[in-house]
Structure 1
Amino acid sequence: MSFPKLPVPLPKNLDYSKQHIEVPGTKRPGQTAHYRNGAFPLITLDTPGSLQTLTQVFEMGLSYGANNNFLGTRPIVSKNPLKFADHYVWESWGAADLRRRAIGSALFKLFEDGTLNGGALRTVGVWSKNIPNWQIIDLACHAYGTVGVSLYDTLGPDAVEYIINHAETSIVFVASDHIPALLKLSPKTPVVKIIVSMDELSEESHRILAAWGKEKKIKVQTWQEFEDFGKANLIPPVKVTSDTVATICYTSGTTGNPKGVILTQGNLANTIHATLLGIDYNGARPVTYSFLPLAHIYERCQELCMLTLGGCIGFNSGDPLRLLEDVQILKPNHLALVPRVLNRIYQSAMAAGSQPGLKSALFHRALKAKLDRLHATGETRHPFWDRLVFNKINAVLGGRLLLVVTGSAPISTPIMDFLRISLGCDIIEGTLGLSLITSAYGMTENCGTAARIWPNDPTSSSTIGGPHCNTEIKLIDVPAMGYTAEDKPFPRGEICTRGSHCFKEYYKDPVNTKATIDEEGWIHTGDVAELDECGRFKIIDRVKNIMKLAQGEYVAIERVEGLYSSSPLVAQLFVYGDSLQSYLVGAVVPEAAQLATIASRVLGTTVSPQDIATLKKVAQDPKVNAAVLRELSKEADKAGLKGFEQIKRIHITLDPFTVDNGTMTPTLKIKRKEAYRLLKTEIDALYAAPESAQAQL
């Protein structure tokens, strides 16, 4: 089998002022021309030599060597107290190949003989955190033509029930601690016939769960039992094509029930091929760290890229607090993160650099020198200042980084610039997530791929770059918001994307399908962008998730949140607007160190960041509230927010928005209705307070 040569670096001597090309003859009233990538020709499934299927992706990775390390974990050396080894233990590519064949053969056999059934698709559920067996199941589905249905590890029972029934999933691979919840759900999920534990079960636990399952007419098996059954019924992988459905990827759902995005093997293979164009690992074999949920398209595509290149995937230890410990042991050269982690790195570095003395002076001198160099040339490295200052920051993430990808939430331009110079590697921001301040862009419906910045582009940090090399983009008019393709100096409008990676339908949902995809195959994203002088796009608004204030002004709430979140003071922020009111209010979860500094200054006493009880008390002090609001207002002024876009009153809380309390999706987006419901009393009080009390709230 022949494979394409990947990855491919960007061509030399790029013209950064021409990052897209217009397709001749495509300009029409009410829209721009169609735009394509300015460095590579359009990659489609019809392009000779392009990746076609996910089985081809795996075989390409396997061709680098069956004995190479593939899936790694840190062994547990003690359960009480919980302690992990200071090294990773690896499963080889060859061993993983044998296991995917066994699991895939078992699935194929059970569907063929009628033990498993369902609807139009042979769906296989997965409900677990990221572990090696998650990848094995996915690879088995790819090779044997079954359809993976991923469930977020942190989803509640209502969403799990909905997805299982909607996808008609008769077998679910689950983390052992989810088995009781799934058995309790069985009267509401009668389609489920087999539950397989993805991690080890003690003999007693298996006996109890198997007996409980028998009562519910559900077979509960260990992983080893299922794998042994596959080995006894082993068959070669079946023939799949680019049209074979690979997964139903359910969106996390900030409102209402999640929608099931049907993605084919061709959709994902095209995404992987395109993603690896314009990337350079400098000959190094990629090593990545898996901790963002594999149920989400963002992490799924990152790991599929590692598969294509024969890379290694080291899995997290299951505890977010061990993230940095894991990374420093693994020493990855590829890292997919979310902005919240990177924001904390930035805030810690800036706080350390603000301490009085010689080190602070050196830090700020180094920072200015490297930022000036970045903005002038796009260069992120400096032989002197890296060795003296910035290599210490890189070391926090293992010290070997070549590429960092960040997505699913906004990140500000100053923080992005700082990360580029301090980590000294290529950073691709936002390969997924409809973010409002991003430098790359995509969504589940186009496999997280639409636009991307070019490495070493000195002025790219406030943009999402030009069209990706498998994507056509056009902007269409949004008359109600005053955006048109004829706007001067640059066109503005809603982003529409099209390509071989774009989905064709939501599962069993023709209404939402028709609302999202037009008759020419364009996905209407709901995001508004402006084209710049270099052929890059900049997200400026959102067609959806906007609200009108009492005086008639429209506000894009998520954009406002993104801009305020650039402040080192903000750990989390929820902005709320009432259409019967003329101004916005907000709930702020501050960084403890920043709140302690402000409270100490305002109250004339020393407040420790570690003293949570005192922090909660001072957070309710009107003087502290006013001081925090003044700091936030500085950020708003710096970002150029208009008066009606600025927060006028705030509630300060030290209780964060979390997945556990139902106010965040598993991809760390705020669920607006749930957040408002949680804080309704406080938000109503902000609006109810008299004008004279505004400064005290």
Structure 2
Amino acid sequence: MNNYYAMNVIPFPATLDYSKQSIELPGTRRPGQTGHYRNAIWPDTTPPDVPLKNLVDAFHSGLAHSYNDPFLGERPIISRNPLTFANKFVWQTYAEVDVRRRAVGSAVEHFFRSGKCAPGVEGLETVGLWSGNRPEWQIVDLACMAYGKVSVSLYDTFGPDSVEYILKHAEVPIVFASSAHVAALLSVSAKCPALKIIVTFDELQEETRQALNTWGADRGVEIMTLKEVEALGKEKPLDIITPTPDQVATICYTSGTTSLPKGVVITHSQAVAGGLGAFHYDKMNKTSVLLSYLPLAHIYERLGEYGILALGGRIGYFSGDPLRLLEDAQILKPTIFLSVPRVLNRIYLAALPVMSAPGVKGALLRKAVEVKMKQLHETGINTHALWDRLVFGKIAGALGGRVTFLSSGSAPINTKVMDFLKIAFSCYVAEGYGMTENCAICTITLPGDPTASGTIGPPQQPCEVKLVDVPAMGYTAEDKPNPRGELCMRGPVRFSRYYRDEKNTREAIDGEGWLHTGDVGEIDSQGRFKIIDRVKNIMKLAQGEYVALEKVENTYSTCPIVAQIFVHGDSLQDHVLAVVVPDPDALAATAKRAGVNEPGRTAKDFVADKRVVRQVLSDMTKFAKQHGLKGFETVKGVHLSLEPFTSDNGTLTATLKLKRKAAYEMYKDILDGMYAAAPARL
């Protein structure tokens, strides 16, 4: 393979100036906004002049680095009853994946050329992907890139309504899916006239295949397996159709917290710019190993995998069961772990009981935390020869013991959690900020910054960022000590448009090309940004105080009793309420402290007992005060529930964001009743 394509990362300078992480471009300040800020290390917003012009080039770079080396891995199933996985990963090489993507791409191209599949009204040849994370997902996506097709990703947890809407909206004629989704696709096919072919990643039993074929024939939809598609492509191979940089690569549908999903159109050049932005980091190379478990339908995971494959690294796919995630990690031993607060909070909360435990074990951990935390805040150094070996090696071992880069994205994370993760994993632990609309690239914290936790760092290359006044919320560029306002960004990673949605596109992107994110940020004296509020998810209490509900939820999320929380406010009331799904272990301990310790009592009894509810509210109130919540932000009434917020019951999006309206509807009678009862204040 021609090494012309082989890319390497762009390392950080040997010495980082943490006092000046952003630079403000002279002459860019205007009334009602800050100046334009760029990364102080790499201030140029033009991507580096490299041979990667599209995502096909990105794969060819990995192929040049690691032609016969492992690329995509998974744990084979060795028994289905009970479900058992092998204790090793089995790998496909870059060369083997190259053969498979060409076969799949050739077959799909034949489907369009023959008229079996038809382009949509805008001429885009779309291909749907609906499954959990697995090697086949990546192979089909690579095939789409190489043959000018536009991948349309569907979250594995999407219900039939979302799937139907997206297939109709993107006019998808062919969908590659896991076998579990074939029946659901056929059930909506009558309302999706463009759909003509369903390809299952899995082989089907003969009886099942016959039933699906009969159903499909009645709907005018052909059922195929991936194996059959690859065989067709191998019989009739076609040359790769190299895309132009401005050609559409994918349409990523947002998970929709308040309305129908919006299709974010991302071109090859935008995706490559996102990948190159991630290349400004010195811990990734061809030896890097990524554990893939965050949804591949989300741009955060996809950009991470694009970066790994461009460098020739390995991607190991988890077994599909979140309860096996640590088992997968301990077998794979990843070096890169992309994550979200919900996962990382659980790691932190698991350590809390040990830190408070009596005896030598608890004392050792408390001392180790004290020493390393002091060192971190004074110097930024998060390694320690003694305590890493005696204490923290066991925590790092939960993820395999080899992680060199751990990131948190998708939602804010508590400062204490970030600091603990830094000293526990003794590696570069970063908090980044991005969204589908900018290819998950916007800002990221720097390694070794002693006080980075609680911020999202400076802009990433190639982005520039500014803050715009939000008068209704009292945020302005003139605020002291730090300017505040809606965070806006632009650069080559910014998306093109929402598919077939001019109205929302105009609202998101202004005439100068700035993407208005809807998040309120501030910039500190060191040039680091911080998300402090959300323009849309705020409410005004009866006395005129504004409450940022997500901020309050994020603060309470690390309270030991809280596994999940939904904070609700009513503009006719002067306080907020919460629905809390309690942590089972913490609930039992709380019930005991509340004096509810009769034999045989269950969790169901605990959440219904007023003494337990009062104790939980008391503990949460103390926690809120300790963590800086103002009086009007503090929850004044709580309902305990054992039913978690999930995608299945419609209260979480596929990316695990709370659907506020759905959560309220679920508990409307209870919350309205709590307000009507005017609970006593603590």
TM-score range, shorter chain: over 0.9
Pairing partner for 2:496 from 490, 499, 504 = 504
Residue identity matched to 1:480: A
Q: Does 1:477 align with 2:477?
A: no
Work out the CA distance in 1 between the residues paired with 2:354 and 2:555: 24
Match of 1:536 in 2: 528
Map 1:206-605 onto structure 2 (within 5 A).
206-281=209-284, 285-429=287-431, 440-603=432-595, 605=597
1:565, 1:572 within 8 Å by CA — same for their partners in 2? yes
Select 1:626's aligned residue among 606, 614, 636.
614
1:620-649 Cα distance to aligned partner (Å, 9 max, x none):
211211111111112211222221111100
Number of residue-to-residue matches in the alignment: 678
Residue 317 of structure 1 deviates from its aligned partner by 1.0
- Once the two structures are TM-superposed, the CA of residue 593 in structure 1 deviates from its matched residue by 1.2
**CA positional deviation for 1:538:** 1.2
Matching residue's letter, 1:674: A
Amino acid at match of 1:680: K
Consecutive unaligned residues in structure 2, runs of 5 or more: none
Cα deviation for residue 79 of structure 1 reads: 1.2
Show the counterpart of 1:437. Answer: none
Q: After TM superposition, where is structure 1 displaced by more than 3 Å over at least 4 residues in a row?
A: none
Name the CA distance, whole Å, in 1 between partners of 2:403 and 2:260. Answer: 38
1:75 aligns with 2:63: no
**In 1, Cα distance between equivalents of 2:213 and 2:398:** 45
Distance 2:191 2:374 in 1: 61
2:168 pairs, out of 141, 165, 170, with: 165
* Counterpart Cα distance in 2 of 1:526 and 1:665: 18
Q: Deviations over 1:579-602 (max 9, x none)?
A: 111110000111111111111111
Match of 1:678 in 2: 666
**Letter matched to residue 36 of structure 1:** R
Q: Which residue of 1 aligns with 2:190?
A: 187
SS of 1:364's equivalent in the other structure is: helix
Corresponding residue SS for 2:66: coil
Amino acid at match of 1:312: R
TM-score by structure 1 length?
Answer: 0.95
Tell me how far apart the structure 1 counterparts of residues 168 and 223 of structure 2 sit (CA, whole Å).
19
Normalised by the length of structure 2, the TM-score is 0.97
Distance (whole Å) between structure 2 residues aligned to residue 4 and residue 465 of structure 1: 29
Contact 1:31 1:484 survives alignment (8 Å): yes
* Bigger Cα displacement from structure 2, 543-552 vs 55-64: 543-552
**Cα offset, 1:69, TM superposition:** 0.6
Q: Aligned partner of 1:459: which letter? A: T
Contact 2:465 2:490 in 1 (8 A): yes
Q: Structure 1: any 5+ residue segments left out of the alignment?
A: 430-439
- Residues 616/515 of structure 1: CA separation in 2 closer, same or farther (3 Å cut): same
Distance apart, 1:604 and its partner CA: 5.6
Once structures 1 and 2 are overlaid, which stretch shifts more, 636-645 or 313-322? 636-645
Identity %: 53
Letter in 1 for 2:480: K
- For 1:653, the aligned partner's letter is S
| Equivalent AA in structure 1 for residue 24 of structure 2 | E
Once residues 589 and 412 of structure 2 are traced to their aligned partners in structure 1, the CA distance between those partners, rounded to angstroms, is 26
Q: Separation in 2 of the partners of 1:284 and 1:103?
A: 26
For each residue in 1:255-300, what CA deviation from the matched residue of structure 2 results, as whole angstroms up to 9, or x when unmatched?
A: 110000000011110001111103324x671111111110011111
In 1, Cα distance between equivalents of 2:207 and 2:229: 18
Residue 547 of structure 1 aligns to which amino acid in structure 2? Answer: M
Q: Distance in 2 between matches of 1:305 and 1:108?
A: 26
Hey, what does 1:435 align to over in structure 2? none
**Retained in 1: the 8 A contact 2:267–2:496?**
no
- Distance of 1:279 and 1:651 partners within structure 2: 47
Equivalent residue for 1:649? 637
1:203 to 202, 206, 209: 206
Q: Could you tell me which residue of structure 1 aligns to residue 37 of structure 2? A: 35
Is 1:22 matched with 2:45?
A: no
Distance 1:41 1:475 in 2: 18
Aligned-partner Cα distance in 1 for 2:421–2:242: 44
Q: 1:550: Cα distance to partner?
A: 1.4
In structure 1, what is the Cα distance between the partners aligned to 2:367 and 2:538?
Answer: 41
Matched to 1:646, the amino acid is T
> Contact 2:410–2:435 at 8 Å: present in 1 too?
no
For residues 24-47 of structure 1, give each alpha carbon's deviation from its aligned partner in whole angstroms, at most 9, with x where no partner exists.
Answer: 2211111111100011132424x4
Q: Which amino acid aligns with 1:419?
A: L
What secondary structure is seen at the aligned counterpart in 2 of 1:63?
A: helix
The CA deviation string for residues 524-545 of structure 1, in whole angstroms up to 9 with x for no partner, is 0111111101000111111111
Shift of 1:606: 7.2
Q: Distance in 2 between matches of 1:175 and 1:277?
A: 35
**Paired residues of 2:410 and 2:434 also in contact (CA < 8 A):** no
Paired with 2:673 and 2:603, the residues of 1 have a C-alpha distance of 21
Cα deviation digits, residues 337-364 of structure 1 (max 9, x gap): 2222211111111212321101111110
Deviation digits for residues 653-679 of structure 1, max 9, x if unmatched?
121101111110111111111111111
Q: Offset of 1:50 from its aligned partner?
A: 6.2
Give the conservation status (yes or no) of the 8 Å contact 2:263–2:498. yes
Give the conservation status (yes or no) of the 8 Å contact 2:566–2:578.
yes
Kindly state the Cα deviation for residue 517 of structure 1 after the two structures are TM-superposed: 0.1
Q: Does 1:110 align with 2:102?
A: no
The offset of 1:605, in angstroms, is 2.5
Give the Å deviation of 1:691: 4.0
Deviates more, 1:235-244 or 1:461-470: 235-244
Q: Is the Cα contact below 8 Å between 1:51 and 1:270 reproduced in 2?
A: no
Q: Determine if contact 1:50/1:270 at 8 Å carries over to the other structure.
A: no
**Cα distance in 1 for residues equivalent to 2:561 and 2:53:** 47
Indicate the residue corresponding to 2:648 in structure 1.
660
1:133 paired residue number: 136
| 1:8 positional shift | 2.2
Aligned amino acid, residue 55 of structure 2: L
Cα pair 1:411 1:566 within 8 Å, conserved: no
1:75-99 deviation per Cα after TM superposition (whole angstroms, max 9, x unaligned): 1111111111111111111110000
Report what 1:432 is aligned to.
none
Task: Check conservation: 1:588, 1:650, Cα contact below 8 A.
Answer: yes
What secondary structure sits across from 2:302 in the alignment? helix
Q: Is the 8 A contact 2:7 2:311 kept in 1?
A: no
Could you tell me how far 1:392 is from its partner in structure 2? 0.4
Amino acid at match of 1:264: T
Q: 1:34 to 1:688 in 2, by over 3 A?
A: same
Which secondary structure state, in structure 2, belongs to the residue aligned with residue 343 of structure 1? helix
Q: Distance in 2 between matches of 1:539 and 1:516?
A: 18
d(CA) in 2 for partners of 1:507, 1:521: 17
Paired letter, 1:504: S
Separation in 2 of the partners of 1:383 and 1:336? 26
Q: Following the alignment from structure 2 to structure 1, what is the Cα–Cα distance between the partners of residues 481 and 189?
A: 59
* Alpha-carbon separation, structure 2, partners of 1:222 and 1:245: 27
Partner amino acid for 1:220? I
Deviations 1:50-105 (A, max 9, x none): 63210111000011122101111111111111111111111111110000001111
8 A contact 1:261–1:445 mirrored in 2: yes
Write the letter of the residue equivalent to 1:661: N
Q: Which amino acid aligns with 1:556?
A: A
The range that moved more, 272-281 or 579-588, is 272-281
